Amino acid sequence: MSHLLLLGAGFSRNWGGWLASEAFEYLLGCPEISRNPHLQAVLWRNQPTGGFENALAQIQASWKRDPANNQDHLVGLQNAVARMFNDMNKGYFNIVNFEFQQSKQMMVRTFLTKFNAIFTLNQDLLLERHYFNDMCLLSEGKWNTAELPGMNPLPDDENDLLNSNLWAQRKWMPVASTEFRVNPRSQPFFKLHGSSNWQESHGGPMLIMGGNKVNEIDHSPILSWYQQQFEEYLSHSDTRLMVIGYGFRDVHINQLIIRAVKNCGLRMFIIAPEGGDLARTVNPTHGAPIRSGTDLETIFESSLIGASRRPLREIFGNDMIEHSKVQRFFRDD
């Protein structure tokens, strides 16, 4: 049986990371935004219907139509988003104890080593800072190391000797597409939307945001391959997917999951405040006088093998009852 993990912003929230609504509130305080009335107006206009990513999509579309009059707006919002990731990552770097308690069997890192592959929509560096460098010690021989398939750290003469194993303090760049592969003795970590410390060959950041993610992914060989890997892993028979902190709002991700449930019998376990009600709460007609069902609700009903509404601080803290329920995900029955 194959066990996969998909992470969203709600995962990092357990260590202080910002959700989309909180990112909106952070951005309002950035000088790039506070000094630009147009960006302020765009953020507020999109706040109820998609937050800062919808605002970024609108600015991107305006720039494509009229680059001359929108260049400053686009650069300003992109710089504010980069500032947000820098501040969030600084906070992660200063976390002294990543674990919520010290029993090896209750550690989050021990839990993470159990997955055949980890996929994430997050672009922060939480796990690079607190998981990758010593995860092999907790895997009991299952893994030699973790890896970002198809990515290599850039050489850094100043830090090479001191920080050669510190994933989060390096810049990363894709290798040639002919070298894309997964090492069978390494736990693969696929960052489906790029990362705040990744850069393109031309030096620009590799972050997929805004309203045209599919097109941006299609233009990135490494992220297109990651998308293919996600689909391939999901399509294997006898596969289970645990989803932590993802709100099922990215259509291209949902489509792959729905297809795998319908065609391959994928089973799922959800960890989110909404628990098994998550698909209903993200239904656009939820609460409307006339309500219609969605494919997402249908596959939840046919594929869900459990859910937890409790935060990871409780599950991996002292809540032995809920921890036991989550661990059932790995049983063969």
pLDDT of residue 217: 87
In this model, does residue 8 exceed pLDDT 70?
Answer: yes
Structure tokens of 164?
């050669």
Question: Is the confidence at residue 25, as pLDDT, over 60?
Answer: yes
* Model pTM score: 0.91
CA angle 257, 186, 271 (to 5 degrees): 35
Strand pairing report for 172-174 and 151-153: antiparallel
Question: What integer is the mean pLDDT of 119-148?
Answer: 88
Assigned token pair, 200: 């393109």
Domain boundaries, the chain: 2-16+99-330, 20-93
* Short-list 1, 6, 4, CA closest to 245: 6
d(CA 136, CA 99): 16
Confidence of residue 161 (pLDDT cuts 50, 70, 90): very low
Q: How confident is the model at residue 171 (pLDDT cuts 50, 70, 90)?
A: confident
Rg (CA), the chain: 20
Identify the band that residue 288 occupies on the pLDDT scale cut at 50, 70 and 90: low
Tell me, what's the pLDDT at 32? 92
Query: Structure tokens of 297?
Result: 């609700």
Residue 50 is predicted with a pLDDT of: 67
The arithmetic mean of pLDDT across residues 138-146, rounded, is 84
Instruction: Count CB-CB contacts under 10 A for residue 25.
Output: 14
Q: What is the pLDDT of residues 55-106, one digit of tens each?
A: 888 888 888 898 888 889 988 988 898 899 999 999 999 998 999 998 888 9
Token pair for 290? 């006339």
Largest CA distance in the chain: 63
High-pLDDT (> 70) share of the chain, %? 94
Residue 21 region, left (φ>0) first, then alpha (ψ -120 to 50), else beta?
Answer: alpha
